[in-house]
Structure 1
Amino acid sequence: MQQSNLLFGKEQLAEETWTALRDCTPVMLGVVPFGITCGIMGLTAKMSGVETISMSVFVFAGASQFIGITMLGAGITGSGMIILTTLLVNMRHLIMGSSLSPYMIELPFPLQAILSFFLTDEAYALTISRIHKAKYSVLYQLTVSTMLYLVWILATAAGVVLGSYISDPLTWGLDFAMPATFLVLLIPLLANRISLIVFGAAAVVSVLAALNLPGKWYIIIACLTASLIGGLLEGDSKHAQ
């Protein structure tokens, strides 16, 4: 297991920061329309601009925010129901956190807490891709996560400001930017038989689950299935060696 080094020289600091900014720029562009939509949805649900932006500042969870805003707009004000629903949606974070735990476990607890709050699908994908290409870098993860956080807040604020002019920015087809970005990050990692099998299994299971199960359960089921198959195949491969 590769541990991160918290001590960076000036050259390494500049290199890691630049690499993080370069890698996350396309992802940030894909985040913008979703942030704008979040701002518009908040106003539609009778939330104030301050409340909508504050949700992005203190919650910072796109899917959970959309669901929470939708529930508020539907007249569901019970905090317990909203919290339970958003927790179910975000169960995939348990898997992402477990995947990164070997690299983050030696970090100071305050830094672990900050990175955990900043953990999103996009930040995770970029960080894992970086680990496979080079090694784990806490500076890389922190830079990527911070930039995505700031862009999400600014995009939400833009949605609040533009709410009276744009009814739904996702009708422009910009929502395809995010899955396209994830595919770009994923394809270079499919370098061997095991990764291809895991990818295929996850794809099939997620589509079948999405067609037959409500909500976001397909994400959790696909993640668990892929993890199980990947673990079994990796174990067999090590025994064979």
Structure 2
Amino acid sequence: MDDTSSSRVRFTRAGFFEGARVMVPMMPGMCLFGLAFGAAAAQKGFSALEAALSSGLIFAGLAQMIALEGWTTNWTVGGLFALALLTFTVNMRHLLMAASMRPWLGPLPPYKSYPTLFFLADNNWAATMRYYTQGGRDVGFFVGSGAFTWVMWTLSSVAGQVIGGGLPDPKAVAIDLVVPAFFIAMLVPNWRGRRELVGWGVAAVVSVGASFLVPGWWFIFIGALSGAIAGGFTDD
């Protein structure tokens, strides 16, 4: 992906490595997350290769963890459909995340822009949007941050599977706290003032309330949608 005809969009090696460098402080928490997934995968009977393929091809940590909770050796059509719907719901946020990058990636031809979205993850999206709002236009930053995250996520998942069988219940060593801590760490740098309290606050309150009222993982979708609507009215 070389320079395009648009002067606003470019891809450089320096941008690629800068994106990877920015991700380094986030890697300890993300690798713990990967270890937790690998360990859980081992307890579900996944081999190291299967854990690697899951993380390498799907590259969606939260959806992978949620899918593992419902994993079974005896699948039915209904069970597969429910799992697909669940993971789709959890990952719907990526539609909005990708859409938010259109003003930047839009000038690129589809055969260049769409493959780069494979590397879209929560942590590098947050860092990339901060980079963009500060005037950065090097697509290499996004690809580099995502590629580095992908490599570390896959390697840590395999390591977790290898260690996996010997880990106790994740809650016993507080690994279950890795996910919320990871997302909080990504949110903090994107705080832009008190106006954020409306959208973030509504999302938090509604999702917690929905988790007690609605079975399954629908509280994630309900909370996100509520926060987005509230934030949209606040912006207007």
Structure 1 residue 181, shift from structure 2 partner:
4.8
CA distance in 1, matches of 2:130, 2:21: 13
Letter matched to residue 23 of structure 2: C
Equivalent AA in structure 2 for residue 57 of structure 1: G
Give yes or no for contact 1:37–1:170 (8 Å, CA) kept in 2: no
Mean Cα deviation higher: 191-200 or 117-126: 191-200
Match of 1:28 in 2: 27
1:198 and 2:202 correspond:
no
- Cα deviation for residue 167 of structure 1 reads 3.1
Mark the runs of 5 or more structure 1 residues left unpaired by the alignment: 236-241
1:175 to 1:191, Cα distance in 2 relative to 1, 3 A: same
| Paired residues for 1:37-116 under 5 Å | 37-73=36-72, 75-76=74-75, 78=77, 79-116=80-117
Deviations 1:8-65 (A, max 9, x none): 4xxxx43x34542342112221111221122222222122221221111111111222
SS of the residue aligned with 2:215?
Answer: coil
Equivalent residue, structure 2, for 1:124: 125
For the residue of structure 1 that corresponds to 2:95, the secondary structure is helix
Distance of 1:3 and 1:97 partners within structure 2: 21
Partner of 1:205: helix, strand, or coil? helix
Deviation per CA, 1:65-120, whole angstroms, max 9, x where unpaired?
A: 22333333364354434322211221222222222222222223233222322222
Consecutive unaligned residues in structure 2, runs of 5 or more: 1-5
2:142 equivalent in structure 1: 141
Conserved? CA contact 1:61–1:120, under 8 Å: yes
Corresponding residue of 2:9: 5
Instruction: Give the corresponding residue for 2:159.
Output: 158
From the superposition, tell whether residues 40 and 134 of structure 1 become closer, same or farther in structure 2 (CA, over 3 Å): same
Which AA in structure 2 matches 1:120? Answer: A
Comparing 164-173 and 220-229, the one that deviates more: 164-173
- Cα drift, residue 160 of structure 1: 2.0
Once the two structures are overlaid, the 10-residue window that deviates more, 129-138 or 85-94, is: 129-138
Matching residue's letter, 1:53:
A
TM-score, length-scaled by structure 1: 0.80
Structure 2 counterpart of 1:232 = 233
State the distance in 2 between where 1:128 and 1:175 align: 28
Shift of 1:154: 0.3
> Root-mean-square deviation (CA), in Å?
2.8
- Preserved CA contact (<8 Å) 1:36 1:169: no
Alignment partners' CA distance in 1, 2:185 and 2:82: 36
Asked whether the 8 Å contact 2:30–2:182 carries over to 1, the reply is no
* CA deviation vs aligned residue, 1:126-173 (integer Å, no higher than 9, x gap): 222223344354111111111110001100110122123323556433
Report percent identity of matched pairs.
30
Distance 1:201 1:113, change over 3 A: same
CA contact (8 A) 1:53 1:157 kept: yes
Q: 1:3 to 1:76 in 2, by over 3 A?
A: farther
2:195–2:234 Cα contact (<8 Å) kept: yes
Residue 3 (structure 2) aligns with: none
TM-score, normalising length: structure 2: 0.81
Q: Note closer, same or farther for the CA distance 1:7–1:95 as it changes in structure 2 (3 Å cut).
A: closer
